Amino acid sequence: MRTSLTFLGFVMVVAAVTLSSPASGQKREEPHRNQNNGVANPLANGVFTVVSVEPYGRTVEMQGPTGTVKVHVGEGIYDISKLKPGEQVQVNFLVPDGLSTKLSAASIWPVKAPK
């Protein structure tokens, strides 16, 4: 009886592994992994227009290709008091770590107008 149960368990494990693996030559498609606590980050690094600056909260509201967003700029990243509405800035975003839901800048600097 014990041998039958062991064999049955072995068959079930083999069947589960076989059914869950992709067929020969097929690539298993990875599910989309959202790294921002369930909120898709629509922004890519790029140039944005400053809408407003809040120095005490260390946030800059910016207009980008997908709309207006508030971006947290950490201490030591950039002196945001120097930013003025209407200026264009280059922003590189931090990769969310799952501990914070706020959109944060890894680096930010003014874009100089071409001469």
With a cut of 70, list the residues of the chain below it in pLDDT.
1-43, 114-115
CB 49 within 8 A of CB 86: yes
Q: Identify the CATH number of the domain defined by range 46-110.
A: 2.40.50.140
pLDDT (0 to 100) of residue 28: 47
Whether pTM > 0.75 for this model: the answer is: no
The CA distance from 78 to 83, in Å, is 9
Helices (H) and strands (E) in the chain, counts: 1, 5
**Segment holding 15, helix H or strand E:** helix 2-20
pLDDT (0 to 100) of residue 112: 84
pLDDT (0 to 100) of residue 107: 92
pLDDT (0 to 100) of residue 26: 54
Closest alpha carbon to 101 in 53, 54, 40, 27: 40
